[in-house]
Amino acid sequence: MVGQIIRIHGGFAFIRDPNTGKVWAALRRGKLAEEKILVGDLVEFSPLDEERGVLEKVLPRKTELYRPPVANVEQALLVFAFTEPDPNFKLLDRFLVLSQSAKIKPIICFNKLDLASPGLYQEERRAYEEAGFVFLTVSAKTGQGLEELKRHLSQRVTVLAGPSGVGKSSLLNAIQPGLKLQTAPVSRKTGRGRHTTRLVELLPLDIGGLVVDTPGFTSLDLPDIPPASLSAYFPEIARVGTGCRFSDCLHQAEPGCAVREAVAEGKIPRFRYQHYLVFLSEILERERRRFS
Ligand SMILES: Nc1nc2c(ncn2[C@@H]2O[C@H](COP(=O)(O)OP(=O)(O)OP(=O)(O)O)[C@@H](O)[C@H]2O)c(=O)[nH]1
Ligand SMILES: [Zn+2]
């Protein structure tokens, strides 16, 4: 049978049959004992009885997140609030790069719609939608927009990301009472806070689908992408960039840059372009340090 690991604990992999929701506790067969297994792995297993089974084979991973370590996450719900706290669009754009480069589909979700004055962030929303991103507006408090959010979460494996206080836990709870997000494990690299590494789990949704119980993208370091590839994660820049004079144009100060022209004409939102430049200089700086 094929199932998905939703939890690893005490030497057992807990494997869920996606069709029935039934979970087996499985030990690994001898040769698999050395191989890395991850929560989210799709595996072949043989049930021994109603509760136990043997893990036979790990199927190839479609995606792999490192913090928290989860395989086969399909989409990232990037949660921000209209207010309290105000949205940080640079952080949103960073999440968009992080998720797309991990081949995880981003879904932008603005919460606390009940606190928003009419038309708030309408322009930004249009910018993201025109770039091709899904942009949901919801309120965990009033329930506005939750049906559409459910449609997006149904039958998918989703990780939530977003700053503290935007309502990630409240949204999960509004969708399914009792669902709880764990607080993000403290970064070992920065050493802030306690050094705890929690076990990550996939939580089944009643509407079908699974959510990672720990917020994702807690490390904000941009991935190791070649500078020329950054624009691929800014679809509106990539589209226009095909018209630049130089095919390797990074859209900084090169002559004949169609992107800068489009920004000047208001065809590419200036804030998006500015964030692109910030991320580009981060990537270039890292390359410089590596080669010096
Ligand atoms: N007015 C309003 N308040 C909300 C809404 N959603 C959440 N809140 C409030 O916002 C605060 C933070 O909500 P949480 O769900 O704890 O936010 P979180 O993103 O999980 O925060 P962390 O656990 O710190 O990551 C709480 O006081 C919620 O009651 C909403 O849609 N409207
Ligand atoms: Zn250019």
Please report the ipTM that was assigned to this predicted complex. Answer: 0.98
Q: pLDDT digits over 30-49, tens only?
A: 777 778 999 999 999 999 99
Q: pLDDT digits over 231-276, tens only?
A: 999 999 999 999 999 999 999 999 999 999 999 999 999 999 999 9
Q: pLDDT digits over 6-35, tens only?
A: 999 988 999 999 999 999 999 987 777 778
**Which amino acid, 53?**
G
What are the tokens at 88?
């940080």
Atom of ligand 1 nearest to the CA of 183: 23
Angle in degrees, CA 267, 126, 231, rounded to 5: 55
Q: Quote the pLDDT of residue 35.
A: 85
Going by CA atoms, what residue is nearest to atom 13 of ligand 1?
Answer: 167
Q: pLDDT digits over 158-200, tens only?
A: 999 999 999 999 999 999 999 888 865 444 455 444 445 568 9
**pLDDT, mean over the chain:** 93
Cis omega (within 30 of 0) on the bond before 68?
Answer: yes
Average pLDDT score over residue span 196-207: 85
Q: Quote the pLDDT of residue 33.
A: 75
> 62 C-alpha to center of ligand 2: Å?
32
Atom of ligand 1 nearest to the CA of 79: 19
Any known ligand binding at 162? yes
Ligand 1 pocket list (CB less than 6 A): 111-112, 114-115, 139-141, 162, 164-170, 181, 183
Going by CA atoms, what residue is nearest to atom 25 of ligand 1?
Answer: 164
Domain formed by 64-212, architecture: 3-Layer(aba) Sandwich (3.40)
Contact 73, 161 (CB under 8 A): no
Q: Which of 70, 134, 133 is nearest to 102 (CA)?
A: 70
Whether residue 112 has pLDDT greater than 50: yes
> 276 C-alpha to center of ligand 2: Å?
12
Domain 2-58, CATH 3.30.420.40 — does that match? no
Domain locations in the chain as residue ranges: 2-58, 64-212, 227-291
The phi-psi region of residue 161 (left if phi > 0; otherwise alpha if psi is between -120 and 50; otherwise beta) is beta
Cis omega (within 30 of 0) on the bond before 223?
Answer: no
Whole-angstrom distance, CA of residue 168 vs CA of residue 205: 15
Domain formed by 227-291, architecture: Orthogonal Bundle (1.10)
Q: Quote the pLDDT of residue 197.
A: 55
Q: Which of 59-73, 124-138, 165-179, 192-206 has the lowest mean pLDDT?
A: 192-206
Give the number of the ligand closest to the Cα of residue 80. Answer: 1
DSSP bridge partners of 28: 55
Average pLDDT score over residue span 118-136: 98
142, 170, 175, 217, best to mutate for ligand 1 pocket (most atoms within 8 Å of CB): 170
Whether residue 82 has pLDDT greater than 50: yes
